[in-house]
Amino acid sequence: MHGPRKLPDLVESIYDAGLDPSLWNNVVAGIRDFVGGQACGLFSKDSISKFGVTHYYCGADPHYIQLYSETHSKFDPLSVLPPQGEIVSIPDLVNFDEYRRGRFYQEWMQPQGCSDAANVVLDRSNASCPVMMTVLSGRRMVDPAMKQRLSLIVPHASRALLINRAITSQLTLATALADVLDNLVSGIFLLDVSCRVVHANSAGHALLAADDVVRTVAGQLVTSSTEANQTLREAFATGGDIALLAARGHAIPLLSPTGERYVAHVLPLSSVLRNGSEQVADAAGALLLRRVSLGGQSYGELIARTFDLTPAELRVFLSIVEVGGVPETAAALGIAETTTKTHLHRVFAKTGVSRQADLVKLAAGFSNPLVN
């Protein structure tokens, strides 16, 4: 047995394990030595089935740890769990003479050279399967001095487990959200107040790699539009403007040098992200960027039904969005520019917009971000 650790050092190590669960095995060894037991472990026990699983332990043979999970947890005298934080030994739970005649003592405790144990519930967050700590005392009984030393540890261990749970919950949520974002074809960029890229999803990285409609210069996101860049710089520098742009549903149309049309939206954020280098950076807002593509006839039909467009008007609408202005649309559709303008004015009247750029934004609202 190692020499007992000083309480301040042990408490510090407990909170270290709250941040890094891999340190718990070292912590339970320190608790065992501090309390004065033979073995120590953290385990969870189903309150109905009595099935127990040991998560971290020291001083016990792995064979007996396995036996406990497979068989002997159901014979454990700890059948009715005490209130959280209350330390109980075996004589507090059952008649000690009867216990010594039972299977748990005969087959599990005695072969390990143990007779008594101190048990305490540390975490009841999952009411059906609380997390507990046990210290096996060896041949001697658990005495008041051992319980007193263990009581000094219990509140810190409980808090450390809550920290573990909170971190795990956040990491699980973050991983799930990252998976969702990476499956979107819209580029998503989290930007700081200087429009530097804090994080980008897979589609965002692909857009940056294409070096077309967006790129990074010294870590700062730059679009193909000088006007859009100015709008973004001003909005992200003053977070309130981001919220205002988002509340108004403001969209920023972009045209790539290769002629593809994109639309960008901004979203205010209040979060802290941690990147792979473990440096913390503030994300002031998000920029969602997607190529304007109606994804086939079904989207055209949806737009036509929504605004009661005739087939001719719909063709002009789609061509304005995907091809360009009136001359380009007239050439693409093989109709006169005057006819194109007539249909376009009707489209404006039915959709309630007055500029071709607004049609691009409107069309983007009908595109599906989940498909190309």
At 274 the pLDDT is 39
Q: Distance between CA atoms of 48 and 57, rounded to whole angstroms?
A: 23
pLDDT in 10s for each residue of the chain, 372 residues: 455 678 999 999 999 999 998 899 999 999 999 999 999 999 887 766 667 788 999 999 999 999 988 888 888 888 778 899 999 999 999 999 999 999 999 999 999 999 999 999 999 887 777 899 999 998 899 999 999 999 999 999 999 999 988 887 777 666 766 677 677 778 889 888 888 898 888 889 999 999 989 999 888 999 988 888 888 888 887 765 555 555 455 678 888 888 787 888 888 775 434 344 444 356 788 888 887 765 544 567 778 888 899 989 988 998 888 777 898 888 888 899 999 999 999 999 998 988 888 888 787 767 655 444
Q: Could you state, in order of their start, the residue ranges of all structural domains in the chain?
A: 7-174, 185-291, 297-366
Three-state secondary-structure class, residue 281: strand
Q: DSSP class of residue 222?
A: E
The CA distance from 74 to 231, in Å, is 66
Could you check whether 7-174 and 185-291 share the same CATH topology?
Answer: yes
pLDDT at 129: 79
Integer angstrom CA distances of residue 80 from 30, 65, 87, 92, 93? 28, 21, 13, 11, 8
What order do you get walking across the sheet with 88-89 strand by strand? 52-58, 39-45, 131-136, 117-123, 88-89
Helix (H) / strand (E) containing 254:
strand 251-255
User: Comparing C-alpha atoms, which of 114, 115, 118 is closest to residue 89?
Assistant: 118
Q: Which CATH class is domain 185-291?
A: alpha beta
Closest CA to 130 of 91, 80, 173, 171: 80
Amino acid at the residue 175: T
Residue reference for tokens 């959709």: 351
Q: Between 1.10.8.60, 3.40.50.880, 3.30.450.80, 3.40.50.720, what CATH number should domain 7-174 receive?
A: 3.30.450.80
Query: Is 0.75 topped by the overall pTM?
Result: no
CATH architecture of 297-366: Orthogonal Bundle (1.10)
Cα distances (Å, whole numbers) of residue 168 to 72, 165, 226, 307, 334: 30, 5, 43, 48, 61
